[in-house]
Structure 1
Amino acid sequence: MARNGINKREIDKWARNLVKETNKSLERAQRRNPPRVSAQIEATSSAVPGEVTGYLARLLLWLDDREKQNPGGYIDITAFPEELRLEDEDPAILALQLDQHGLVQILRAMGPRTHVRLTDAGRVAVREQKDVQKDRAARLRHTMDALLRWLFDTANDQTPVNPALFLATPGSYFAGTEISGTDLHQALAYLAEHKLIEHIDTDPATVTITPQGVSCALTGGSVQDHVNQPRPGATYNTYLPNAKGVLIGEQQHFTQNNTDGVDPTLFVQLAGYVGQVSPILGLSDEDRVELERVAQELHDEATSGNPEPGRLRQFATQLKDQLLAGATTMAATQGIQMTEQALAGLVQ
């Protein structure tokens, strides 16, 4: 059963306890030998801008360590996927990926092309990674972004999932080093605090991505971009109505002066609500895009200096018609009720 409405201290305690469970249940051997995501699927933020992340970044550091033992010599990287138990990774492909970035030189004279040595650009990239590793804020931003993206890819239907499994993905590396339990704890707490994920009381504990989290992932931006973006008008937490039909959520204050006697508050709330719940209405991609477009137009009109009653009515009516297509869901039913209330206030 989900626990909603908890405060920041409770969120932090939950995340800390979840990470403790993770550390107990996920031994190092298990972390190195689960079903793996391809190293070509990289994390959202790069410790070496424009270059490599995930396992490839780890490979750069691995090569740097081996080069100290054999300066200037070629190194066979077949041992790298063996050490990390990346059974699905072809060392020749890993070598080619680094070669394409100009970070290694491949020995092409004989046998499989898995013998490489770092180029000058590769040595600079290693130094940059080691510098970035000291950036605590960058590490936390990466962890939040990679974790949310992984949740979207893994459970975008809002199925609860054990966040410990994230530690077995390329995104769990930052600048070639592993994400720590502290990093995971802080990322979980932050995402939960800002309603991008919701924790579920299961054993072991699980999390699910919320519609807000889905919206953040779909934009392609960072978690910080989503959290810090200005949100004029009403913003609702993504909770469905309770038994009395009351929406459980939080609102920002909305103030607007206009000379036409029109109170746009309900229309602003309606547009914000529809924008958040559109991914869970069961609409086709085409219909969902159209729904969000109309909601944006309603929001723009409602937050303008002097909203026109005719345009408010037009956009709200369009939203109601589109919501009727998803009326089998509680979210759509609530949206229809909000539309009717807004339209009723328009004629008073």
Structure 2
Amino acid sequence: MARNGINKRELDKWARNVVKETNKSLERAQRRNPPRVSAQLDATAGAVPGGETTESSGYLARLLLWLDSSAKQNPSAYINVAPFVEELQLEEEDPTILALQLEQHGLVEILRAMGDTGTHVHLTDPGRVAVRQLKDLQKDRAARIRHTMDALLRWLFDTASDQTPVNPALFLATPGSYFAGTEISGTELHQALAYLTEHKLIEHIDTDPATVAITSRGVSCALSGGSVQDHINQPRPGTTYNNYMPNAKGVIMGEQQHFTQNNTDGVDPTLFAQLAGYIGQVSTTLGMSDADRVELERVAQDLHTEATSGNPEPGRLRQFATQLKDKLLEAGTTIAATMGVQMADQALAGLMQ
């Protein structure tokens, strides 16, 4: 039976329990069927050009890392791709096709000597750059969580779009459970489950073990072809943004029903005002010390004041939003902090347009 009206504390407890059960189920699944290792290309578009989303192309990022590791033992040699396919037990994958896909993107050079199978490759300079970009991308916490949410929702849609409950442990044995060549962690899965449930894209079902089901909103998001964040943040017809700010104790003081600005610099301060109001709502839930919380709220108040002034100054908006982002990153990886970081990124991106 689904539980409606779940509060954030219960949601967090539920998600953690799901992760625990997931880890147990995954260990059993791995013993029966070793998971296929991959990294979705759409999550590594900056490192691997092309943007294909087929399962075959999803292995290219992992293969690049494997080639880089092999090349360190013998930098000048051509490396056979076939052992990569054998090691991961990818019976349906053709190593020649994988090599051709990498060559198509200019990431490897294929040895075409007489009698060669076309599976021996050598990393090009762009290929080595792509490897470095992949390794950098692995450290991007926000990108990892966004990928987890997107991949988990797509998997639920493909697996049970009729809203049949599914054990989320099964997701961790799929290609989508890897990001830039690395496994999705239990913490990242926990955050994705909680976030998707909070925004009513999935619902948790009281079963043992716990299961989840995609909602009608989740189906709509999957069919849109965009990301979870795109779907959640898209403006709704007639939407009025309410901006909340706390007093010194973090208590919500009121709201602005209509937020408009008259400025001549082409700056839209709406996202910055929303960020400041969001901080006012969640500052007491971040687990920060009193001193850090007070400082966070002070910066949020400064941002709100600037954003709602007659002519907001882009430099000050950038300064305050960046300070808030840094403080949220220091606060940890809670859902509330992660959402704040994403809001800050979106607001700051608006200054670049």
Query: Scaled by the length of structure 1, what TM-score is found?
Result: 0.62
Asked if the contact 1:32/1:85 (under 8 Å) is kept, the reply is no
- Aligned CA distance change for structure 1 residues 81 and 188 (closer, same or farther; 3 Å): same
Partner of 1:171: 176
Partner of 1:8: 8
User: In structure 2, how many angstroms separate the alpha carbons of the residues matched to 1:92 and 1:49?
Assistant: 18
Q: Structure 1: give runs of 5+ residues left out of the alignment.
A: 236-252, 256-348
Q: Secondary structure at the match of 1:207?
A: strand
- Aligned CA distance change for structure 1 residues 31 and 149 (closer, same or farther; 3 Å): farther
* AA partner of residue 8 (structure 1): K
Partner of 1:17: 17
1:220 aligns with 2:225: yes
1:27 aligns with 2:24: no
Between Structure 1 and Structure 2, whose CA radius of gyration is higher?
1
Partner of 2:131: 126
Residue 54 of structure 1: how far off its partner (Å): 3.3
Partner of 2:116: 111
- Aligned CA distance change for structure 1 residues 33 and 107 (closer, same or farther; 3 Å): farther
Asked if the contact 2:40/2:179 (under 8 Å) is kept, the reply is no
Q: Secondary structure at the match of 1:186?
A: helix
Residue 88 of structure 1: how far off its partner (Å): 1.8
Asked if the contact 2:40/2:178 (under 8 Å) is kept, the reply is no
Partner of 1:45: 43
Asked if the contact 2:36/2:89 (under 8 Å) is kept, the reply is no
Identical positions, percent: 78
Query: Scaled by the length of structure 2, what TM-score is found?
Result: 0.61
Residue 33 of structure 1: how far off its partner (Å): 2.9
Please give the root-mean-square deviation of Cα atoms over the aligned residues, in Å: 2.7
Asked if the contact 2:36/2:88 (under 8 Å) is kept, the reply is no
- Deviation digits for residues 279-319 of structure 1 (CA, Å, limit 9, x no counterpart): xxxxxxxxxxxxxxxxxxxxxxxxxxxxxxxxxxxxxxxxx
Asked if the contact 2:40/2:176 (under 8 Å) is kept, the reply is yes
- Deviation digits for residues 201-231 of structure 1 (CA, Å, limit 9, x no counterpart): 2222111110101111111111111111222
Count residues in correspondence: 236
User: In structure 2, how many angstroms separate the alpha carbons of the residues matched to 1:58 and 1:199?
Assistant: 32
* AA partner of residue 177 (structure 1): T
User: In structure 2, how many angstroms separate the alpha carbons of the residues matched to 1:210 and 1:92?
Assistant: 41
- Aligned CA distance change for structure 1 residues 155 and 51 (closer, same or farther; 3 Å): same
User: In structure 1, how many angstroms separate the alpha carbons of the residues matched to 2:206 and 2:34?
Assistant: 25
User: In structure 1, how many angstroms separate the alpha carbons of the residues matched to 2:69 and 2:42?
Assistant: 26
Residue 55 of structure 1: how far off its partner (Å): 2.0
Q: Secondary structure at the match of 1:27?
A: helix
Residue 179 of structure 1: how far off its partner (Å): 1.0
Q: Secondary structure at the match of 2:203?
A: strand
Q: Structure 2: give runs of 5+ residues left out of the alignment.
A: 52-56, 241-255, 259-353
Residue 85 of structure 1: how far off its partner (Å): 2.2
